[in-house]
Structures are given as structure tokens and as C-alpha cells.
Amino acid sequence: MRTKLKASILFIASFLTGCSDKPNTPEAEANTYQKAVYYNELRPAADKARDERRKPVEVLEFSGVKPGDKVIDLLGGGGYYTELLSHVVGADGHVYLVNSPLFVNFTKDQIAERLANNRLKNVTRIDGPWNALGMPENADVIFIVLGYHDIYVPRPNNSDFEANPDAFFEQIQASLKPGGKVLVIDHAAAKGTGNEHASTLHRIDEAFAKQDFEKHGFVLVKELDVLRNPNDDFTKDIWKKGIMHLTDRFIHLYEKPLNN
């Protein structure tokens, strides 16, 4: 009986350990990104529940963002990455959560809750129209997570919610310092479809994204595959049951050339 009980306890302990995303690395030995994700007691439980499907440690490390940086979470919605970036850049850095009216409309309560009582002291909230977002200059890194495809969604019934892609890129160029980086994560569409499924399926063709950023003066530096899903059905809307949160997502890092 005692042997069976001991075996059961070991099984449960093993199961719980396997369910945890936190590595075995002690906090004292963890890197900046692990500390921001796994050892940050201020993070909301709802954010932590999203970590497994978002792979934030890998994404943050891939971006190269570091303490002291000025970072923009562009179209950051409720601020999942804003919170993490706030802890990575630290007291000597600053993060700007920038949203257009479209994103404020859907996430205003989340934004208010995240920034209530100045809980993230190195974060500034900026809400602005698509063509005048009010982003600061000399940013080191700009994050655009799952929002890039929205600049290609026509919204003729609400001009405040509709972007001008060229104006959008012009603002990124003006805000980013020479040599600065842009990290882009988005839901992949079927190859060869360009931006035609941006409004119907909320997806965008990865090859189109590369051409688009290069056309607007950015250089692709590298790619990351931690959010790929080879079993994704590219004919499905990203919000459909069975595929929501499980889409094939590409991750690109672009650079603004030093001579720009």
C-alpha cells in the first residue's frame, strides 16, 4: 500500500512538473528574458496562461531587446508584450503601448486594467489615429504582434478603423532609429495569396510580408519558427473553433538600415 502511495505521489509530482513552462533554472541563474516571464510576480495570471502558446522567452530573446532600450508595442492591444517588455528594459528603458482606434475599441478595458495606478512605471500609453499614431523617435525596437495584417483590412463604414499602409510604414521609419529592429508576428495565409485574406480570414501571406517590409525600406535579418504549425488549415478563419490560438504563425525580424 505504501509503495503504491509513493508511486502515485511521484507520478503526480512528475505530471505537475511536466505541465509547468518554468525551466529548472534557478532564478539566480535565469537570463533577463526568463526572469521577465517566469520570475515576475507582478504578471497577471491571464498572461501566464497564454505563455505556452506564445513562447515569449524565445520571442523576446530573438528580438534582441535589452535593458535600457526604448521599445514600442505597436498595435499592442491589451498589452501582453508591453508588460513583458517593461520588465526587460527596466528602469533605464521605456515602453510605449501604441494603439489605433480599432485596437482601443476591442481592448480598452484590458489596457485600463493593465496600466491602472501606474503599476508599470516605465510604460506610456499612446492612442492615436492610424495616420498619426504619435510614436516617439529613436526607438530601438518595435513589436507588431498579430496586428500587421490589419493594415490591409478595408473598413469603408468606419474611416477611423481603416489604415493607410504607406502612411503606417512611414511612421515606423520615422520612429525607428537607424539600425533599429522591427519584430513582426502574424497568422500565415496560404502561399501566393498576398493580402487577400487579411479581412476574411485575418491572415497574411508570409512572402507578401517580406516583400512589403523590404519595399518600405527594411531588411529582413532573421526568422524564428517556434510558432509554426504545419497542420494549420489555411482556409479557416483564425477565430474558428479548433484553430483559434493554434494557427501557423511566422516571426520575422527586420532592420532599418544605418543609412536610412
What pLDDT, on a 0 to 100 scale, did the predictor assign at position 14? 35
Residue 17: count of CB within 10 angstroms of its CB: 10
User: Tell me: the pLDDT tens digits for 71-125?
Assistant: 999 999 999 999 999 999 999 999 999 999 999 999 999 999 999 999 999 999 9
- Rounded distance, CA 154 to CA 164, Å? 9
User: Tell me: the pLDDT tens digits for 15-40?
Assistant: 333 334 566 778 888 999 999 999 99
Q: 169 pLDDT exceeds 80?
A: yes
- Rounded distance, CA 3 to CA 121, Å? 53
Across the chain, mean pLDDT equals 92
- Rounded distance, CA 191 to CA 88, Å? 35
Predicted structure pTM score: 0.90
Q: How far is CA 128 from CA 97, 98, 99, 123, 184, in A?
A: 11, 8, 6, 16, 20
What pLDDT, on a 0 to 100 scale, did the predictor assign at position 15? 35
